Chain A
Amino acid sequence: MSPTATTSPTAAVVRTEATLFARELGSLFWILLFPTLLLVVIGLVPDFQEPNASLGGQRIIDLYASVVVVLAMIMAAIMAMPPVIAGYRESGVLRRLRTTPMHPAALLGAQIGLHAVAVLASVVLALGTARVVHDVRLPGHLGWYALALLLATASAFSVGAVITAVSSSTRVVQTVGTIVFFPMMFTSGVWMPVQTMEGWLRVTVVSTPLGAASEALNDALQGIRPEVVDLVVMGGWTVALSLVAIRLFRWE
């Protein structure tokens, strides 16, 4: 029982939380598998396989390759993680850790990191499957794609962080999360890809973090540089929401 004695505290926390995360089969399904399954099913609609002149020659299924990536972020950052953190707060896990040499922030960091890794795995799975099953191209510009992915993930987690911070209990977190879930799905383009929206609707949607994310990811997928405004929208929301979350968060 002693080989663990040499483990660093942070490594031990990450390993423990990873073990616990692996037991959350529901979360793993919605984050890792559901986006890919949705993409496969949507691609079965024949019309969605047709190149569309008004979309610059892209097919609807091409657009959905970015939408389901954002969907994975929503599942991880808004549906899966906030209840875990709120549960830790409510049941006193965070309080208890404050009486040990480990700062409970390590636990939050581990949770965010693990959910982010799950998002990344989901992205790889979705894009790989889309390439094989529906002939969707892989990201044309990997650098821009990585940057868009990073900013999009950060903005999604900052939304989740605010939900956790403003909610007093796990139940409230779940309610607020569900309320936020639907507009988030809409702005990411799950029901209607952002690129097919027009007029004021499109202007509104691309000024939200996940609307901008869908745009930027789709641009980078096609191999073109995302519009700076999309990157700024995501970065700006991330900074603003993170500050709000940090300010409002309570350890107990």
Chain B
Amino acid sequence: MISISHLRKAHGSKIAVDDVSFEVAEGEVLGVLGPNGAGKTTTVECVAGLRVPDAGTVRVAGLDPLVDRDALTRLLGVQLQESRLQPKITVGEALRLWSALYDDPVPWGGLLERLDLVDKADTTFRDLSGGQQQRLSIALALIGRPRAVILDELSTGLDPRARREVWQIVRDLRADGVTVLLVTHSMEEAQQLCDRIAIIDAGRVRALDTPDALIAGAAAATVTSFTADDAVDLEALRAMPSVSAVRADNGRIVVEGRDGAALAVLEGLRRQNVVPAALRVVDGTLDTAYLQLTGPSTPEESRA
């Protein structure tokens, strides 16, 4: 549905996007994750036809965003980061205006309800809270029944309840077969919503996989923690090939490692004749995978 190939874009002397390629399949929710300035927004702006790439190609349903602008705008809904409306436009007026721009708009009464803005229909944009402005912006992106949607910083500024609500909207979009390109800072959001995640750093795609696969591939796919009455030889644990980090944390010993590290740790403790108490083994999070892939210097060496 969306295909980006060797995209490159510089702002002056600063290279925002160096070499980005990925495909978003029809009906897929693809998350774009990365630190500030990684090139996420520039990438999606090229997809939306707002920027002219220096090199590479972008296609949305086979359309070139720069050439087929008219056709593109009819099938792609866009919610931009930090994009505001006329300060004195009311919610109702904005929705009515946007409805008039499309041939077959969604009846916006339902959108207001889903985005919990019904009692704000007569409120002007500047009097809305940040979260309400954000939800209105999402409503406008969906009003033209798009086949694909770009959501940039979807849940920034939303309280936890509103965040759950917009997440539900993304899930509904997915259920309706709408393709979603989701730019986010939030690991939790990416993990919750995305079929696949592209981690972008310094203008390049560092990893592109399902959330589970990214976590499993990380050096901290599992986190094993326990307490012990006897002294534990931490160096011996640290020396194990599947273990990436060992630390003592408030009386608990925490061991991070790849898949299967937990069994190796238990085996190691048995050899030391230590009986672990309050043993917990949990999945690692996307955070560790992310930090590993986007660190200042990719820390491949931390397994000393």
Contact = CB atoms under 8 A, between A and B. Distances in A.
A20 interface: yes
B270 to A, nearest CB: 61
A8 B97 CA distance: 10
Contacts, number: 77
Contact of B100 (A8, A19, A88): A8
A54 B107 CA distance: 68
Contacts of A95: 50, 80, 83
A5 B144 CA distance: 12
Contact of A93 (B48, B86, B101, B108): B86
B107 A99 contact: no
B101 A100 contact: yes
Given A4-B96, A92-B84, A102 B101 contact: yes
Given A1-B109, A2-B107, A20-B89, A99 B97 contact: no
B87 interface: yes
Interface string B97-116: 11111100101110000000
A81 to B, nearest CB: 14
Interface stretch (A9-17, A118-126, A209-217): A9-17
A9 B100 CA distance: 5
B144 A100 contact: yes
Nearest to B107: A1
Interface stretch (B68-76, B223-231, B290-298): B68-76
B83 A100 contact: no
A99 B49 contact: yes
A20 B86 contact: yes
B85 interface: yes
Instruction: Bin the interface of chain B by size.
Output: 20 to 34
Given A96-B83, A99-B48, A99-B80, A23 B100 contact: no
B87 A87 contact: yes
Given A1-B109, A100-B144, A12 B86 contact: no
B212 interface: no
Contacts of B105: 5
A96 B80 contact: yes
A93 B96 contact: no
Contacts of A9: 100-101
9 tightest Cβ-Cβ pairs between the two chains A and B: A12-B100, A92-B83, A91-B84, A99-B78, A7-B100, A101-B73, A16-B97, A96-B83, A100-B101
17 contacts: A2-B107, A12-B96, A12-B97, A12-B100, A12-B101, A20-B88, A20-B89, A87-B87, A91-B85, A91-B87, A92-B82, A93-B83, A93-B86, A95-B50, A98-B49, A100-B101, A101-B102
Interface of A: 1-2, 4-5, 7-9, 11-13, 16, 19-20, 23-24, 87-88, 91-93, 95-96, 98-102, 252
Given A4-B100, A20-B86, 10 more contacts: A12-B96, A12-B101, A20-B88, A23-B88, A91-B83, A92-B80, A93-B83, A93-B86, A95-B50, A101-B70
